[in-house]
Structure 1
Amino acid sequence: MTIGSGYGGGVYSPPDHPTADPSSPATQQIAAIPVGRTSGGSTGAATAEDATRDDTTRDATRDDTTRDATRDDTTRDATNDDAAPDTSSLAIRPPEEEVNRRANQRDEAAAAKPLLPRILQVAVALFFPIILLAAAVRAVTTPLFLWVEYHRPGFPADSYGFSTEDRMTYGSYAMDYILNWAPARYLGDLVNTDGDQLFLDSEVGHMADVKGVLSTGFVVATVLAILTIIACIYLARRYPGGIRRGLFAGAVATLVLAIALAVAGILAWETFFTQVHALLFADGTWTFSLDDTLIRLFPAQFWIDAAATVGAIVLIGAVLTLVLTWPTKARREKSADAYAARRANNGI
């Protein structure tokens, strides 16, 4: 095709379309570019495919991240399980019997008494027989008992001439001497109607020994009675029921001891009487002739009656104490309630 031109009326002939050289570097660079990115339809398909492939890659990456996080959590849980103790067994409640047993042990430990009240209760139990025996002996060593003995039917008369009035007069002197603070001449200076010495020196010496034994026994019993009263006051204020338990135990011990001594006296009085005197007095100081004043005033029957009276008083006192302190259910509950109330008031 020839196109006219205004340049000098010459004719322009366009050159032929050049042909690319496959061996040139530029051609090779162009060939390396994917065809799909240079054409309209194929480029859209490739782009969608690439997007799908990118989404798949992101999903796979997200799944890998989730698996890694789960694996890390599992590892941490395993580590925590290894570090923390197993407390699954703590959620299991023990049997009801075990719960009750532990509760009872706690209650018993809370209600347990200290050592001092127990000592005081034992002291009351040990002192009770001695105090009761001393009281019974003191009841016998009175002018009233002497009068009852000399006037009761069947009491043996004095074969050497003492009348009942003589016995009451001289016997009262002897009874007063062992209870008062008078010296030995209180008996040694007494004379009979003939002006002779009423009591021999050996008799006066024995009565002095009797006075020493009885005085010591009464003093000891008085001290023990005072200590018992103090102990009972303490127990009454601090431990309700302690007095009752102490007296009950003492009454049981007294009853057993009294029965044993009564059986020994009934089965062999002479042996029992001799053993008691041999235990309390020196040999040869307590044996006298039948015509001596002490034997005429206090024959064997007097001592049998005196021992029986002492035993009866002790038995009555022990039985009465047992009845008054018997551990009935009502008394135990009352003591327990009083003790609980005292602990609550003291904030224990």
Structure 2
Amino acid sequence: MMHVTEDRRDLEPEVNLDESQDTEEPAFDWMRTPDRGRDPENASVRDASPNRPSEVRESNGLRDRHELREGPASGSGHGAASDAAGSGHGGASDAVPAAGEAAGPGAAPATTSDHREPSPTSALQMRPPEDEVRRRTAQREAAAQAKPVAPRVLQVLMAIFLPFLLLIAAVRVIATPAFLWLEYFRPGFPGDGYGFSVDDRLTYGSYAVDYLSNFAGRRYLGDLVQSSGAPLFTDAEVSHMADVKSVIFIAYAAGLVLLAFFVVAFLVLRKRPGAFGRGLFAGAIVTFVIVVGLAVLAFLGWEQFFTDFHRIFFSQGNWTFQLSDTLIRLFPSQFWMDAAIVIGVLTLLVSSLIIIFAWPIKRKTPAPETEASRSE
């Protein structure tokens, strides 16, 4: 009885300051959590879950009251149980240390480990095996280093077309009255042995150069006459100039098409760093080799080189004239030699500049991510 009195003194209810008088206990018995058939260890784990505070307090109170009623150390279980039941919510909370004392010093402590169920997204945070990580990394690196076919084709076409574009541009610079003026007034240029002065040459030669760039017909040259009243150009000369004009127009049209191609190539390759520059670099190398080769052939035999050039673009016989004809007097062999030198120098200069400014620079690739850096 003495022990029961101490338990009653320990289980005296505390003053409840909550005016709502809400004991947080179920209003009906059927709402209580049944204690029968539960695993004590699992029940204690579920009761210790921090996510359900009301259920913890309720289950702890029921378990403590059950221990006070049936515990062997209580002495008189019915009196203690009735006092614990009448103490309400405060008595249930205060019965925890009393129940622990009633269990005895040899009783095993209750399990309070925090066992939480895995969240639905916990599988997404799991790292795949190392073999899978290496395989995916290798696939990403291979995809990053893969070179599509279209850019490679554009670069090859740029290397093929750039020599023709530069040569056509150089020819356009030569076929101007400015170059004609420089030739006629440069020291050492041979004079006309049949009576043309420098002014006559510049006037008649300008007509011939303008005819190559305008849309006039053969009358533009055929109706020209000398001061003596004789035609300035013969029919054979007018026919040859018409052929030259056709070749020039085809070259200029091809140059515009090639220029448009390079604009399109730039728009396509600008998203790939260095791709357009590598195409220009390859084309400049090809141009440099071609021009040097042609210069060597012209240096070894200018007459043969000049003849072979005319045989490629003009029919046989309509480009051979006498020394007294107007075209030979206006454009002697020295004029064509100087024109070929200027064309070669301009082409080599432009291609050299392209090689210098488009020189490919190897970009440093970032180091692969190591396991230590990923863990950090």
Query: Does 1:174 pair with 2:208?
Result: yes
Equivalent position to 1:156, from 182, 185, 190: 190
Query: Does 1:183 pair with 2:217?
Result: yes
Equivalent position to 1:239, from 258, 272, 279: 272
Q: CA deviation at 1:113?
A: 2.2
Q: CA deviation at 1:92?
A: 11
SS of residue matched to 1:161: coil
Paired residue for 1:220? 254
Paired residue for 2:300? 267
Structure 1 residues 297 and 321, CA gap change in structure 2 (3 angstroms):
same
Structure 1 residues 243 and 162, CA gap change in structure 2 (3 angstroms):
same
Query: Does 1:114 pair with 2:148?
Result: yes
Larger radius of gyration: 1
Q: CA deviation at 1:109?
A: 3.7
Higher relative contact order (CA 8 A, sep 6+): 1
Rounded Cα–Cα distance in structure 1 between residues aligned with 2:130 and 2:260: 58
Query: Does 1:286 pair with 2:332?
Result: no
Equivalent position to 2:241, from 207, 212, 224: 207
Paired AA for residue 210 in structure 1: V
Q: CA deviation at 1:103?
A: 6.0
Residue identity over aligned pairs, in percent, reads 52
Paired residue for 2:352? 319
* Contact 1:178–1:214 under 8 Å retained in 2: yes
Paired residue for 1:74? none
* Contact 1:123–1:228 under 8 Å retained in 2: no
SS of residue matched to 2:170: helix
Moved over 4 A (4+): 102-106
Equivalent position to 1:137, from 163, 166, 171: 171
Q: CA deviation at 1:114?
A: 1.5
Q: CA deviation at 1:189?
A: 0.3
Paired AA for residue 158 in structure 1: D
Paired AA for residue 332 in structure 2: P
Paired AA for residue 274 in structure 2: G
* Contact 1:143–1:172 under 8 Å retained in 2: yes
Query: Does 1:306 pair with 2:344?
Result: no
* Contact 2:274–2:360 under 8 Å retained in 1: no
Q: CA deviation at 1:105?
A: 7.5
Paired AA for residue 260 in structure 1: G
Rounded Cα–Cα distance in structure 2 between residues aligned with 1:220 and 1:213: 11
Q: CA deviation at 1:111?
A: 2.3
TM-score normalised by the chain length of structure 2 = 0.60
Paired AA for residue 190 in structure 1: L
Rounded Cα–Cα distance in structure 1 between residues aligned with 2:289 and 2:142: 32
Rounded Cα–Cα distance in structure 2 between residues aligned with 1:151 and 1:295: 18
Rounded Cα–Cα distance in structure 1 between residues aligned with 2:153 and 2:255: 19
* Contact 1:127–1:225 under 8 Å retained in 2: no
SS of residue matched to 2:161: helix
* Structure 1 residues 43-88: Cα deviation after superposition (integer angstroms, max 9, x where no partner): xxxxxxxxxxxxxxxxxxxxxxxxxxxxxxxxxxxxxxxxxxxxxx
Rounded Cα–Cα distance in structure 2 between residues aligned with 1:267 and 1:225: 33
Structure 1 residues 197 and 126, CA gap change in structure 2 (3 angstroms):
same
* Structure 1 residues 314-338: Cα deviation after superposition (integer angstroms, max 9, x where no partner): 0001100000001134xx34xx79x
Rounded Cα–Cα distance in structure 1 between residues aligned with 2:264 and 2:146: 22
TM-score normalised by the chain length of structure 1 = 0.65
Question: What's the C-alpha RMSD, in Å, of the aligned pairs?
Answer: 2.1
